[in-house]
Structure 1
Amino acid sequence: MSAQEKPPGYIDTSLDGGVLRIIICNEKRYNAMSLDMWKSVAKAVSDAQDNPDVRVIVLQGAGKKAFMSGADISEFKEKRSDKAQAQHYADSVNAAQSALRSSGKPTIAAIKGICMGGGMGLSLSCDLRYSTETAKFCMPAGKLGVGYAYEGIKRFVDIVGATRTAELFLTARTFSGIEAGRIGLVNEVFSEEHFDKIVDERITSMAGYAPLTMRAVKTGIRCVLQEDDAPSVAEVSRMVTACFESDDYREGQAAFKEKRKPHFQGK
Structure 2
Amino acid sequence: MSTMELADGKILASSADGVGRITFNQPEKRNAMSVAMWTGMGEALEMFAEDASVRCVILQGAGDKAFVSGADISQFEKVRNNADAQGQYDKLTSAGRARLSAYRKPVIAQIRGFCMGGGLGIAMSTDIRIASDDSQFGIPAAKLGIAYGFDMVRALVDLVGPAHAHMILMTGERFDAKEAERFGLVNKVVPVAELEATVAKLAATMAGNAPLSLLTNKQTVKQVLMDRADRDMDAYKRALAACFDSADYKEGRRAFMEKRKPAFTGS
TM bucket, shorter chain: over 0.9
SS state of the match for residue 200, structure 1?
A: helix
2:98 corresponding residue in structure 1 = 98
The answer on whether the counterparts of 1:117 and 1:140 sit within 8 Å (CA) in structure 2 is yes
- The answer to whether residue 76 in structure 2 is matched with residue 71 in structure 1 is no
Q: % of aligned pairs identical? A: 38
Question: 1:235 Cα shift?
Answer: 0.9
Q: How many residues align?
A: 265
SS state of the match for residue 54, structure 2?
A: coil
Question: 1:104 Cα shift?
Answer: 1.2
TM value normalised by structure 1? 0.93
Question: 1:99 Cα shift?
Answer: 1.8
SS state of the match for residue 137, structure 1?
A: strand
Please list the CA deviations of residues 38-73 of structure 1 after superposition, one character each: whole Å capped at 9, or x if unmatched.
Answer: 111122223322220111011100011100100001
Question: 1:82 Cα shift?
Answer: 4.9
2:115 corresponding residue in structure 1 = 115
Report the CA distance shift for 1:26/1:228 in structure 2 as closer, same or farther (over 3 A): farther
SS state of the match for residue 52, structure 1?
A: coil
The answer on whether the counterparts of 2:24 and 2:62 sit within 8 Å (CA) in structure 1 is yes
1:168 corresponding residue in structure 2 = 168
Report the CA distance shift for 1:6/1:184 in structure 2 as closer, same or farther (over 3 A): closer
Report the CA distance shift for 1:234/1:117 in structure 2 as closer, same or farther (over 3 A): same
TM value normalised by structure 2? 0.93
Question: 1:247 Cα shift?
Answer: 0.6
Report the CA distance shift for 1:31/1:229 in structure 2 as closer, same or farther (over 3 A): farther
Question: 1:112 Cα shift?
Answer: 0.2
2:206 corresponding residue in structure 1 = 206
Report the CA distance shift for 1:13/1:135 in structure 2 as closer, same or farther (over 3 A): same
Question: 1:94 Cα shift?
Answer: 4.1
1:49 corresponding residue in structure 2 = 49
Moved more, 110-119 or 255-264: 255-264
Give the Cα separation in 1 of the matches to 2:264 and 2:79.
45
Give the Cα separation in 2 of the matches to 1:78 and 1:228.
41
The answer on whether the counterparts of 1:222 and 1:230 sit within 8 Å (CA) in structure 2 is no
In structure 1, stretches of 5+ residues that fail to align are none
2:127 corresponding residue in structure 1 = 127
Give the Cα separation in 2 of the matches to 1:245 and 1:13.
34
The answer on whether the counterparts of 2:7 and 2:40 sit within 8 Å (CA) in structure 1 is no
Question: 1:230 Cα shift?
Answer: 6.3
Which amino acid is the alignment partner of residue 99 of structure 2? A
1:139 corresponding residue in structure 2 = 139
Give the Cα separation in 2 of the matches to 1:123 and 1:114.
11
- The answer to whether residue 184 in structure 2 is matched with residue 194 in structure 1 is no
Question: 1:197 Cα shift?
Answer: 1.4
Report the CA distance shift for 1:229/1:265 in structure 2 as closer, same or farther (over 3 A): farther
Give the Cα separation in 2 of the matches to 1:148 and 1:91.
15
Question: 1:81 Cα shift?
Answer: 3.4
Give the Cα separation in 2 of the matches to 1:27 and 1:229.
43
SS state of the match for residue 243, structure 2?
A: helix
Give the Cα separation in 1 of the matches to 2:210 and 2:230.
22
The answer on whether the counterparts of 2:110 and 2:195 sit within 8 Å (CA) in structure 1 is no
SS state of the match for residue 153, structure 2?
A: helix
Which amino acid is the alignment partner of residue 112 of structure 2? K
2:263 corresponding residue in structure 1 = 263
Which amino acid is the alignment partner of residue 234 of structure 1? D
Give the Cα separation in 1 of the matches to 2:131 and 2:176.
10
SS state of the match for residue 161, structure 1?
A: helix
Which amino acid is the alignment partner of residue 60 of structure 1? Q
1:219 corresponding residue in structure 2 = 219
